[in-house]
Amino acid sequence: MAIAYVYDGTLYLAVTRRCTLACTFCPKVHGRWVVAGNDMSHDREPTVDELLAAARALMPSVPSKRAAFVGLGEPTMCLDVLVPVGRALRAEGFHVRLVTDGLANLRAGADVTAQLEGAVDEVSVSLNAPDGETYARVCPSKYGAAAHEAVCAFVGAVKPHVPSVLASVVTAPGVDVEATRVLAKHLGVPLRERPYFDPRLGEPHESR
């Protein structure tokens, strides 16, 4: 079971399999835990030392020196691991990207974005919808439609702390991608489209 793996020239790090959301397009939600040939179903979250050891073992395979914290699982649920590992990788010359649901502040009930300063170079926030209703349908959680507003607020909150922030949208059925692009523009970040795959059939990478 993998806590780190290399895919398409990037070192991917998995700090947890827990999530705030249950996205309809996520293979995990449909019982599929294999990503790029790696079994991500481990339920024990790695320590800083374990994750760094796994990362260092793979570094010779990553000449591009690009790393990413990504699911299956929401990395910011384990900031105590993400932050020191991100800082260590950056100190070794890696460009570190974080793919996040943008709900860390809502979960914490406080602004935790300053913790990311120095730990990541780029944050990709999964916006995934132009409005709260669509978001709650595509990315359901206990927060309902209010979660979308929190994601938008997170985009603004994290900007002062990391060099680069962007938003992403999965082109899932029923999602108005162009309206999501307008929202991203309003938030002052570029929007990256992620193609939708039927989560019951394949194992898309970075699906959110």
Instruction: Count how many Cα atoms sit within 13 Å of the Cα of residue 175 in the half-sphere of its side chain.
Output: 27
Q: Which of residues 120-159 bind ligand SF4 (CB under 6 A)?
A: none
Among 6-14, 16-24, 159-167, 182-190, which window interacts with ligand SF4 (CB under 6 A)? 16-24
Q: Is 40 in the site for ligand SF4 (CB under 6 A)?
A: no
Q: Is 101 in the site for ligand SF4 (CB under 6 A)?
A: yes
Show the binding pattern over residues 72-91: x = contacts ligand SF4 (CB under 6 A), - = does not: xxx-----------------
Near ligand SF4 by CB under 6 A: residue from 11, 13, 21, 40: 21
Query: How many Å apart are CA 68 and CA 158, to the nearest integer?
Result: 17
For 166-177, b where at least 16 C-beta lie within 10 A, e where not — what string?
bbbbbebeebeb
Near ligand SF4 by CB under 6 A: residue from 5, 12, 28, 138: 28
Minimal distance in Å, beta carbon 27 to ligand SF4? 8
The backbone torsions φ and ψ at residue 185, rounded to the nearest 5 degrees and listed phi first, read: -60, -40
Distances 54 to 1, 35, 140, 169 between C-alpha atoms, Å: 12, 17, 32, 30
Near ligand SF4 by CB under 6 A: residue from 3, 15, 19, 89: 19
Q: Is 207 in the site for ligand SF4 (CB under 6 A)?
A: yes
Q: Is 71 in the site for ligand SF4 (CB under 6 A)?
A: yes
Beta carbon nearer to ligand SF4, 15 or 183: 15
Query: How many Å apart are CA 82 and CA 88, to the nearest integer?
Result: 10
Q: Return the residue matching tokens 């790090």.
A: 13
Q: Is 29 in the site for ligand SF4 (CB under 6 A)?
A: yes
Query: How many Å apart are CA 91 and CA 89, to the nearest integer?
Result: 5
The overall longest dimension of the chain from CA atoms, in Å, is: 45
Contact residues for ligand SF4, defined by CB under 6 A: 19, 21-23, 26, 28-29, 71-74, 101, 207-208
